[in-house]
Amino acid sequence: MAREGLLIHGDGEYPEPQSPTPDTPRKKWENFWYYHKWHALVLLAAAVFLIFLARDLTRPGADYEIGLVTANGFPQEAVGLLEKNIAKCGEDLNGDGRVTVQIDSYAAGAENGGSGIQAANQVKLEADLSAGDCMLFLTDADSFSQQQSKLGMFARTDGSTPEAGESGPGGMRIPLSGLKALAGLSYRTAEGENLMERLGLSLRVYRDTAVDGKKDAYWNASRRLFQKLASG
């Protein structure tokens, strides 16, 4: 009888079970992200890589590829402005009757890799560096320091390889304002900042790397372009 008293109200009726409170959309998203965030980031990185690959396979070959390594994305209009003005100092390397420059953007972010997209950009940068696709790189100051510390990828402005522990940017990076051919270039944000003032130009390390001897003509042409941009 005592047991029945615990299970049944005084009026002889069982208490109605309370319905569970349904999760809000935000709660559902938090639960999903908690359990699946790494899967999502891997898939996102793979998707970005495939987009880059498809772009590279369908785009006609340029005379020069130049890397643009920045903490954040760079406006496409500004990229186009750089391509157009750098091409004025270049040579027709592929014999198609025109000079074209293709800038490959890598928004690699902070040293820890940042978001999935930034991590994918870092992977692509390192893969392209191994392939020797870009001999010249435009960087902002933070990205130069980050990549030089991580990869030791930048040469001196004369093309020679720095000594171990030589971190630059002095002798390895020329600000755009110091390049006579690009000194007047401007692309202003809504706040009035000239984004071109963030950038500097560097050569990559070439001698005694995996691509040394395989792309000598392209390396020498890129050095000539670097020198012409500097001297005007």
Per the CB < 8 A criterion, the answer to whether 105 and 205 are in contact is: no
Alpha-carbon 23 to chain mean position: 38
195 — pLDDT class (breaks 50, 70, 90): very high
Q: What is the mean pLDDT of residues 83-96?
A: 97
pLDDT score of 131: 95
Report the C-alpha gap between 154 and 162 in whole angstroms.
Answer: 8
111-160 pLDDT, tens digit per residue, is 444 567 788 888 999 999 999 999 999 999 999 999 999 999 999 999 99
- The span from the CA of 150 to the CA of 129, in Å, is 13
Q: Which of 99 and 16 is assigned the larger pLDDT?
A: 99
Residue 197 in this model has a pLDDT that exceeds 60:
yes
Tell me the whole-structure pTM to 2 decimals: 0.73
Farthest CA pair distance, the chain? 102
What are phi and psi for residue 221, nearest 5 degrees? -65, -40
